[in-house]
Amino acid sequence: MIDSRRKLMDRGYKNPVLWLSPLGGWTKASDVPLDVRVKQHHEVMAAGELHPDWTVMAIWPSPMIYAGPTEVQFHAKSRRVAGASFFTVGRDPAGMPYSSGPNEGDDIYHPDHGRYVLMSSPGVGEMEFLGFEKVYYDKKDHTMRTRDDSRKDDFISISGSKMRKLAALGAKPCPSVIPSDLISSKCIPPGFMVQKGWEIVSDYYIRQKTGDWVPYSKQLGGLPLAPHMRSSAEQLFGKTGFTATFVGQDGTTPISPWHDLPLYPGSDKNIVNFVCEIPRGSYAKLEVQKKVPHNPIMQDTKKGQLRYYTYGSPFFNYGMLPQTWEDPSRKGFNNTIGDNDPLDVMEVGTLEYKVGDVRKVKILGDLELIDQGELDHKVIVIDIEDPLAARINSIGELNAEKPGMLEDLIEWLKMYKTTDGKAVNTLSSDIPKSSAEATVIVEECHKSWAGLVAAGPGSTGFWLK
């Protein structure tokens, strides 16, 4: 980055500004979480390696996944649209190294070839591209620079793979005589990285090995629970055994949010009780547990690991409707079957919720998510006490009062699993069912729940009181 600024100054630009992305650096973006990048770059700036007068640290919400030239062209063009005039690029958009033969490991393409690919790409406008060659650590003056072949022994190659190994080993600063084999010596040379920045990266890779890394998507400092919720002191939020149990008016007797809370707070079938499982902005995949006594809210797990949304934090309050059940024996859109869960809800208002909050909400519509042959309704609602509630009674009024919200909901439902390597989801239609149609769906699922409770758990394994 500093070298890029020098190049610009050499070309006559008096005070070029660098955009420092926490998703760039010595390792692939997918290797290191965003908060580690941010902390690391803050330390780099604090140490004066990058001056705050000419550096802007910006989070670009599209990490590179190393998908080839097309992806690099997208990153260059999207930055151009955002106002960037220069793009520093290495060989990545041009190709890869030799996989075999006498040149195995060497680059097939010259480092500048990636720059040529982008220069010839349509749509780049006036953006200029700066070539970025591979740099080495110079033991003589303790900097990263292009290798001088006249004194090859003075240079050490520090690849991303080597850096990750050193970080996982907890490498400490090298002695005054810098060894050429950094791995066996478990040391990093002076000038390679700001020490505090290195400690942050190293801590991450060490904790990756021990399994106690706290990801950026995990809420720290506890989990806000509704007043009627009780959690165990032994299994706090962030542990697989965490439970948040609903209690009755006496403050101690456990109750089921699925079975004991009424669906309808009054006679108006368009107003229902909503149980918040995941407040807006939370990443943890929390859910009422159908098979656990009293149906507490717990965090989902997969192969023993806690699950988090990786697509980004939800911009709506997410939860369920009590006393509802999507019966898998009932056929829906294109012969899909019910997903065997209580009805899911997306609350689109402006109020802040806590886990376990029970709120009266107004039904606005419904989107039908199709998930591997199952029909998973997503009922769209708004809190009746929300400042906008008086003006929003339908999807049309939602569009008028909160333009773009419906499109964002649809995009979220379709795409949120893609960051876990899954395919794009499908909906029965991008046009939601009306408020009246959604109200009928809720009534039907309420009747299905009543039938489930009357018949007993059978082979479902559900806890039904």
Higher pLDDT among residues 381 and 75, named by residue: 381
Residue 250 lies in a domain: yes
What's the mean pLDDT in 195-208? 85
- 55 pLDDT band, cuts 50/70/90, is confident
- CB crowding 356-384: b at 16 or more within 10 Å, else e: bbbbbbbbbbbbbbbeeebbbbbbbbbbb
- Measured between alpha carbons, how far is 255 from 253 in angstroms, rounded to an integer? 7
43 with 196: CB under 8 angstroms? yes
Burial, 82: exposed, middle or buried (Cβ in 10 Å; 0-12, 13-18, 19+)? exposed
pLDDT of residue 52 exceeding 70: yes
Amino acid letter, residue 51: H
Q: What is the pLDDT of residues 88-144, one digit of tens each?
A: 776 655 556 677 888 787 766 666 777 777 787 787 788 888 777 778 889 998 888
pLDDT given at position 280: 93
**Cβ neighbour number for residue 294 with a 10 Å cutoff:** 19
pLDDT given at position 28: 39
- 383 pLDDT band, cuts 50/70/90, is very high
Give which of 318, 301, 327, 320 is closest to 451, Cα–Cα.
327
Q: Name, of 55-64, 216-225, 244-253, the range with top average pLDDT.
A: 244-253
The torsion defined by the Cα of 309, 397, 263 and 373, in degrees rounded to 10, comes to -50
What's the mean pLDDT in 287-312? 92
For the ranges 186-195, 217-226, 235-244, 344-353, which has the lowest average pLDDT? 217-226
What's the mean pLDDT in 256-283? 96
Amino acid letter, residue 403: P
Distances (CA, A) of 153 to 150, 230, 266, 382, 447: 9, 64, 82, 68, 78
Q: Residue 174: how many CA atoms within 13 Å on its side-chain side?
A: 21
Residue 131 lies in a domain: no
What's the mean pLDDT in 226-249? 87
pLDDT given at position 30: 42
Residue 394 lies in a domain: yes
pLDDT given at position 451: 96
- 204 pLDDT band, cuts 50/70/90, is confident
The predicted model scores a pTM of 0.62
Residue 15 lies in a domain: no
What's the mean pLDDT in 34-56? 74
Distances (CA, A) of 336 to 34, 373, 438: 39, 5, 17
User: Percent of the chain at pLDDT above 70?
Assistant: 84
For the ranges 65-74, 412-421, 446-455, which has the lowest average pLDDT? 65-74
What's the mean pLDDT in 283-297? 95
Residue 177 lies in a domain: no
Q: Which two tokens stand for residue 235?
A: 């299994």
What's the mean pLDDT in 276-292? 94
379 with 441: CB under 8 angstroms? yes
Residue 302 lies in a domain: yes
| E runs forming strands in 279-398 | 286-288, 297-299, 301-302, 305-306, 317-320, 337-338, 344-347, 358-371, 374-383
Q: What is the pLDDT of residues 389-445, one digit of tens each?
A: 999 999 999 999 999 999 999 999 999 998 888 889 999 999 999 999 999 999 999
What's the mean pLDDT in 356-367? 98
Higher pLDDT among residues 74 and 392, named by residue: 392
pLDDT given at position 439: 98
Give which of 314, 308, 318 is closest to 215, Cα–Cα.
308
How high is the mean pLDDT of the chain? 85
Q: Which CATH number characterizes residue 378's domain?
A: 3.90.80.10
pLDDT of residue 25 exceeding 50: no
Q: Name, of 36-50, 152-166, 204-218, 222-236, the range with top average pLDDT.
A: 152-166
Number of compact structural domains in the chain: 1
- Measured between alpha carbons, how far is 150 from 342 in angstroms, rounded to an integer? 71
Q: What is the pLDDT of residues 140-192, one digit of tens each?
A: 988 888 889 899 899 998 877 888 899 999 999 999 899 989 999 999 998 88
pLDDT of residue 3 exceeding 60: no
The residues facing 255 across adjacent strands are 246
The torsion defined by the Cα of 207, 211, 212 and 213, in degrees rounded to 10, comes to 60
3-state secondary structure 100-111: CCCCCCCECCCC
Residue 307 lies in a domain: yes
Which range marks the domain in which residue 340 is found? Answer: 229-455
Residue 433 lies in a domain: yes
What's the mean pLDDT in 370-382? 92
